Amino acid sequence: MQPAPKTDARHYQRFLMEVEVNVYTQKNGLAPGQTLDISESGISAVVPLELLIGEAVKLDIRFPLEPVMVSAVVRSRNAFRYGFEFDRPGTGKELIQRAPVRLTVARPM
């Protein structure tokens, strides 16, 4: 008997997006990182710094042609992989549309 395929219970589809990001925190200042994926509600990134769940941050997403600064809140953590929720509705949709390349749909984990 085959195991049932995993489904992703998220509200919004995630897209793979690997670009550099600088994370600014009140407590720790600047930390460089790498984004992994993005959705309309948030973005995930690997950041070699300890961030607190609920902490407000600024993300400087380093798109090749035009870097973009957004505000977000740390919502999840798994080792140094963080999930950030955008604090302004529509931010994710705008970023997905502005991405310099066509984004690939991320598969559920």
CATH of the domain at 44: 2.40.10.220
3-state SS, residue 96: helix
Whole-model pTM: value is: 0.85
pLDDT above 70 covers a percentage of the chain that reads 88
pLDDT confidence of residue 97: 87
Report yes or no on 8 lying in a domain: no
Report yes or no on 3 lying in a domain: no
Report yes or no on 52 lying in a domain: yes
CA dist., res. 23 & res. 6, Å (int): 31
Report yes or no on 12 lying in a domain: no
pLDDT in tens, 57-96: 999 999 888 899 999 999 999 999 999 999 998 999 999 8
Nearest residue to 46 (alpha-carbon basis) of 64, 73, 22: 22
Report yes or no on 78 lying in a domain: yes
CA dist., res. 23 & res. 25, Å (int): 7
The mean pLDDT value of the chain amounts to 88
Report yes or no on 17 lying in a domain: no
